[in-house]
Amino acid sequence: LEKGGKPLKFTLWTPQDLYLRDLTVAQAAQAQMKAVGADVDLKKVEAANWFTTLKVAAQRAPYDMFMWSLTPTTGDGYQQLVELSRSDPDPSKPPMAWNLSHYSNPKVDALISAAGATTDQEKRKAALKEAQEIIMRDAPLVFLYSLNFILGHKTIVQGVRVIPNRFVDFREARFVR
């Protein structure tokens, strides 16, 4: 908890009222980090300014650590890795997708590219798996939790499709008597 004689001290940035209980989660994380000796301040940012505050070039990033949530709209692991973990071609500009930690690892980039360039599902899965293992070791992100969404409907409603990314497709919904 010390480096060069200086205690571990940083600021955790959190949106207010953007994610479910975002401030409560940030306060819990702050308390847990303080319990092990880290001095953590919270910086609350209005939801309306959250994305523009975070999506800046690496040298302009004002945050030490931030709360984040992303749901891949396709439910595909490749999309998630591209958006969160692929290096940006020009770090002097804001990230192209959502790599807000400005993580960069050439091996991960090569594996993501390999996964995106093949239609062989076994090769694709192997490349994504290896990339994820490296990312977990490098730890540019700390995954706190994953929400479970519980949805229900009456039996007279059919054709509702629940997509694994929390979205619900009602395009083919109909009442059946």
pTM of the model: 0.78
What pLDDT sits at residue 34? 94
**pLDDT tens, position by position, 4-47:** 888 899 999 999 999 888 999 999 999 999 999 999 999 999 99
Which tokens is 79 given? Answer: 């999309």
The answer to whether 84 and 98 are in contact (CB under 8 A) is: yes
Between 144 and 70, the higher pLDDT residue: 144
Read off the tokens for 157: 């409603």
Residue pLDDT, tens place only, 78-98 = 988 999 999 999 989 999 899
- DSSP, res 65: E
The DSSP code sequence of 9-61 is EEEEEEEESSSTTHHHHHHHHHHHHHHTT-EEEEEEEEGGGHHHHHSS-GGG-
- Look at 1-5, 42-46, 48-52 and tell me which has the smallest mean pLDDT: 1-5
The dihedral built from the CA positions of residue 77, 94, 38 and 5, taken in this order, carries a sign that is positive
Tell me the pLDDT tens digit for each residue of 54-78: 999 999 999 989 998 876 667 788 9
> At how many degrees (to 10) do helices 121-138 and 106-117 cross?
160
